[in-house]
């Protein structure tokens, strides 16, 4: 069981469900990555900020699946923003991961007060040309940040990784991405602390499909062309999270789930995402 591949705007593809690794430590990440790959995951998401690239790399090295069959994402932190500084960021990431390249390199936050995300993006363009990353994208960028990036550079981001779930649907961000060929990768796709998964609406839809509330939420993501990256350290939940491609939600169910939006969008997650 593996996730289908979605096309990105640079001609490459990305598995539609990935494994989120925040806030796993190195020891946990090594175990979970190996278990997830054995279950069928081929998309692994990490970041300098998470402090677990070494563990993720060990899990990849020991998983038994050829490197070219895996899709690995990492993100450069704020200390690597500015002209050419991202080169040091990716060098450190590749060393910790034990890899020659990553499949997707993201700017973790725009940090507009520093006014360095455009120069950082141009460095990512060069790193892609040099083969250190296959694709480049951003995280936590608002439409206004993306507009400026596209106006002042030559490469449109392949993805924008933002927090999305039924309580925070980010319709404006997703619409802007879709209009410009930018895939939305959903972090924290199941919400926080289980509150979303206990909602009566989701429990009812889950019963009608013979699925768990988490599977219903993940199906809500994938059916709309999003790329969720749920995190779990439990092998049973890892399997369930990947098993969302054998059923469909109705248009009414999709609309009802999207209607759970609280109207309280959140900005960049200062806790690590």
* Catalytic residue annotation: 50
Q: Residue 224's closest CA among 164, 160, 143? A: 164
Token pair listed for 129: 């040309």
- How far is the C-alpha of 106 from the C-alpha of 103, rounded, in Å? 10
Determine the straight-line distance between the first and last CA of the chain, rounded to whole angstroms.
27
- How far is the C-alpha of 125 from the C-alpha of 74, rounded, in Å? 15
Identify the sign of the CA torsion 61, 63, 67, 71.
negative
Token pair listed for 52: 């677990």
The pairing of strands 19-20 and 13-15 is: unpaired
- Is residue 247 helix, strand or coil? coil
Counts of helices then strands in the chain (DSSP H, E) = 10, 10
């Amino acid at each position: 069981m593996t996730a289908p591949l979605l096309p990105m705007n640079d001609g490459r593809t990305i598995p539609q469900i990935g494994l989120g690794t925040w806030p796993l430590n190195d020891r946990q990440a090594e175990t979970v990555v190996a278990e997830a790959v054995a279950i069928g995951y081929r998309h692994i998401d990490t970041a300098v900020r998470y402090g677990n690239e070494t563990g993720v790399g060990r899990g990849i090295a020991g998983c038994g699946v050829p490197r070219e069959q895996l899709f690995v994402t990492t993100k450069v932190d704020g200390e690597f923003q500015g002209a050419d500084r991202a080169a040091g960021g990716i060098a450190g990431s590749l060393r910790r991961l034990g890899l020659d390249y990553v499949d997707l390199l993201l700017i973790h936050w725009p940090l507009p007060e520093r006014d360095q995300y455009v120069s950082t993006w141009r460095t990512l363009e060069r790193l892609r040309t040099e083969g250190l990353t296959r694709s480049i994208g951003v995280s936590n960028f608002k439409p206004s940040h993306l507009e400026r990036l596209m106006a002042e550079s030559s490469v449109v981001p392949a993805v924008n990784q933002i927090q999305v779930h039924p309580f925070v649907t980010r319709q404006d961000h997703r619409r802007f991405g879709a209009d410009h060929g930018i895939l939305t990768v959903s972090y924290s796709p199941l919400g926080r602390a289980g509150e979303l998964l206990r909602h009566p609406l989701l429990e009812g839809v889950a019963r009608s499909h013979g699925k768990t509330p988490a599977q219903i939420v993940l199906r809500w993501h994938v059916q709309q062309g999003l790329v969720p990256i749920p995190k779990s350290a439990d092998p049973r939940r890892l399997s369930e999270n990947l098993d969302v491609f054998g059923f469909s939600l109705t248009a009414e169910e999709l609309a009802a789930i999207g209607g759970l939006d609280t109207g309280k969008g959140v900005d960049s997650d200062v806790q690590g995402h």
